[in-house]
Amino acid sequence: MAFSKSNLCLFCSPKSKTLNKLHETLNFYLLTDGAPLGPGHLLLVPKKHFSCYGNLPKKLDKEFSLLKETISTFLGKNFGRFILFEHGILGQTVFHAHLHFLPTNKRVFPFAKKTYTVKKIKNFSSLKAVLEKEKGYLYFAEDSSDFIIKAKNPPPGFFHTYLLSKLLDVPAEFDKRAKNSKKVFIQTNKLWKDTVV
């Protein structure tokens, strides 16, 4: 179900749709992250306002899957291994669905399970059922496995500030990471044009 568009939503702002945009389809934008955790950090964002991917309508599944596969092939070819993550309502700082694709050789699961309860789920499509039952989720995927992290009242920016910044040894602060956004966009945009377009 689509939520009301908010003037405060970063991804609903007309200006944001041209910033860091690599690609666009009928229902999605592909952007580089505005405060990247590393080179090639991408966001897949639905154009319509949904709270998280667990609320994405079934009619968008095919387009989403094709785009996800294109992004996965692009990242694999140009950056190697990558992970996916999403704040499914829990820990969100931007209240609009956006799936992160982050190239890294670091393993999230062994790191996360030291501190949190991590549960394997069947696949990405399982997020709809998780959202219905739990009213939110912290999702990540790596090495063909999908997981949710059980955390009671996770803080805003959970993945960036409290988990991945520590694992990757990058600044937790948005402003410090944002200094690299233009460089990441230019590099990734060139690779996208050379590889995909």
Contact by Cβ (8 Å): 138, 131: no
pLDDT at residue 8 above 90? no
In a domain, 2, yes or no: no
Of 173, 113, 123, 114, give the one whose Cα is nearest residue 144. 123
Q: Counting Cβ atoms within 10 Å, is residue 15 exposed (0-12), middle (13-18) or buried (19+)?
A: exposed
- The residue-averaged pLDDT of 121-126 equals 96
Extended beta strands in 33-128, E state: 42-46, 82-88, 99-103, 117-121
> How many distinct structural domains can be found in the chain?
1
Write the CATH number for 104: 3.30.428.10
- The residue-averaged pLDDT of 74-80 equals 97
Which pTM does this prediction carry?
0.93
Distance from C-alpha of 175 to C-alpha of 109, rounded to nearest angstrom: 27
What the block records as the tokens of 59 is: 């009619």
- The residue-averaged pLDDT of 20-47 equals 94
In a domain, 152, yes or no: yes
